Amino acid sequence: MNGISSPQDRLSRLSGPLAPIRDKLSDGPEIRRVEPSAQVLEADAFACLMQSYARRFGVKPDGYLVSLWSQKYLATVIIPVMALSLIGGKAVHADIENTAIVVDDDGEPVALRLPTAFTTEEADQAASLLVSTHLTPLVDALARQSGLSRKVFWGNAAHYLEWIVRQLPGKNPAFNLPAPTTDAIRYFEEDGLRVRRRKSAV
C-alpha cells in the first residue's frame, strides 16, 4: 500500500498522534512482567492472573472482572496489530501461540510482544487472520473460564476492530485504508453475534 515492509519502518510511523498505539508494543528488552498469550488458554494460569487483577479492586474474580480484563487485553492486541498491518500494507502475524503480553503488577495487559515476521497476506486480510489465529481461541477460553457468553467477548473485540479502522485515518489522513474489519464484523453477525456500535477512545 505504501511500500513499508520492515517492522522497524512500521514502528517508526507510529509517532505523533499515533504514539499511544506505539506504546502498546514492546519490542526490546523488557523489565516488566511478560506472559505468553497462550497462558490465557490455560485455566490454572489464567486463574492466577485474575487473582492478581482482582486484588486491584479488592474483589473476588468473577465474570464481570473477566469481561473488564478482556477489554484491556483486546485493546492491547487488536489496536497495534491492525495499525501495523494497515501502515505496511501486509497483515501482521499475531498467532496466540507466538505472541506475549506485558502486564503490570496487577496483571492488567499494557503492551503486546509480536513475532518478528510478518505474513504475506494483504492488509485487508488482517482482521480475518487475527480472528482465526488469536481471537477465536481467546474468546472460547474466556467464555469457558468465566461462564459468560461468547457474545460478550466478541462484542468487545468487534468494538476495537471497528474503532481502529475509523480512528486511524483521522490521526493520519495520509493513510488510504482498506476496510479490513468489514468481513470480520460480518463474521460475527453470521455467527449470530450482533454487536451494538459504540463510540470510544483508547
The reported pLDDT for the residue numbered 103 is 96
* The one-letter amino acid at 128: S
C-alpha cell at 53: 487483577
| H-helix or E-strand spanning residue 77 | helix 63-88
Pick the CATH number of 7-190 from 1.10.10.10, 3.30.1180.20, 3.40.50.2000, 1.10.510.40: 1.10.510.40
Q: Is the pTM of this model over 0.85?
A: no
pLDDT at 170 (0 to 100): 58
- Helix H, strand E, coil C: the string for 83-147 is HHHHHHCEEECCCCCCCEEEECCCCCEEEEECCCCEEEEEHHHHHHHHHHHHHHHHHHHHHHHHC
What the block records as the C-alpha cell of 2 is: 505504501
Q: What is the largest CA-CA distance in the chain?
A: 49
Compute the distance between CA of residue 121 and CA of residue 127 in angstroms, rounded to an integer. 11
**Residue 121 near residue 91 (C-beta atoms within 8 A):** yes
**10-residue block means of pLDDT along the chain (202 residues)?**
56 81 89 94 95 94 95 96 85 93 96 78 85 96 96 94 77 50 44 41 36
